[in-house]
Structure 1
Amino acid sequence: MRVVTFGSSVATAAVLTLSACTDDTMMPTRQDGAEFFADHCVACHGPGGRGNGPLANDLPKHPTDLTQLSRDNGGTFPAAQALSYIYGDPKNSHLSRVMPEFGGAMADDLVPVEIDGVLTPTPRELAGLLAFLESIQE
């Protein structure tokens, strides 16, 4: 995941339009993502993201070891898949999942993030969380 600056006026306009989606044009950082993770994810995934949080053994499905997402995806961080899963994909609402969907509460504050070569309006909290998750890959 990375934020991209383009030279063309069309791409620049797209970035400015996406940036206007938020009052705060500062891009979220890995630290912002770490704070979100500490507030919302540690109970199940553990402080290091290994799936060993204090609630992990009480869940019907063991939480994913988030430090191995790149390894399990051929060495590339799966930003699009992680974003879709964390946000909550309405197409998969029929699937049983233990992890809450975070997207509904985040849709009003978007920032431009390049994911798989596509500039994607992404909720600020998720952009920070993706930066954090990518940083803890082993």
Structure 2
Amino acid sequence: MTRLFAILPLIALTACVEPPAEVGRALYTDACASCHGVDGRGVGDAPLTLGKPVPDLTTLTTRNNGVFPQVYVMGVIDGYWRSDDPHSVMPEFGAELQAGDLVGVDTGDGRLTPTPVRLVALAAYLEGLQN
């Protein structure tokens, strides 16, 4: 019986379904569109005031040899990949996206890593914007 309780959290984690596209779209509209533009091409309202170009988010797959870089994208949004960059002007959204459920994401090592479902939803929405 003890063994069953030990694996229940893993079963619950892997049984989660993909987050709805509406969640990702709403997060993008609220947090990203002002800089990256409604269509993700980096032509929102803020680029002129930032002093540097804003990346075109519709070419992430193209720039990564035809594969959407989900783990990298989530790391940039969360702030993990930019924590040591003093020149980054993009805000870290990790704390804001922590609220809510977790979903298992394979980050490349074959294991499911508990990841905020809202972060996964936003990355999935960005994947849908690819050219």
Where on the TM-score scale, by shorter chain, does this alignment land: which range?
Answer: 0.7 to 0.9
Q: Which has the larger radius of gyration?
A: 2
Q: Which amino acid aligns with 1:128?
A: A
Q: Relative to structure 1, is the Cα distance of residues 15 and 50 closer, same or farther in structure 2, using a 3 angstrom cutoff?
A: farther
What stretches of structure 2 of length at least 5 have no aligned partner?
A: 1-5
Displacement of 1:76 in angstroms is 0.3
Post-superposition, which runs of at least 4 consecutive aligned residues in structure 1 deviate over 6 A? none
Displacement of 1:55 in angstroms is 1.4
Distance 1:124 1:130 in 2: 10
Name the one with the larger helix percent: 2
Aligned to 1:49: 40
CA RMSD of aligned residues (A): 2.6
Displacement of 1:14 in angstroms is 1.9
Distance 2:11 2:49 in 1: 43
What stretches of structure 1 of length at least 5 have no aligned partner?
A: 1-9
Q: Which amino acid aligns with 2:60?
A: L
Between the two proteins, the alignment pairs up a number of residues equal to 124
Q: 2:25 aligned with 1:34, yes or no?
A: yes
Aligned to 1:14: 10
Instruction: Give deviations 1:20-73, integer Å, cap 9, x for gaps.
Output: 9xxxx6542222101100011110000000000011122122111000000000
Q: 2:129 aligned with 1:136, yes or no?
A: yes
Deviates most, 58-67 or 39-48: 58-67
Q: Which has the higher contact order (CA 8 A, sep 6+)?
A: 1
Q: 2:68 aligned with 1:77, yes or no?
A: yes
The TM-score with structure 2 as length reference comes to 0.80
Distance 2:41 2:69 in 1: 17
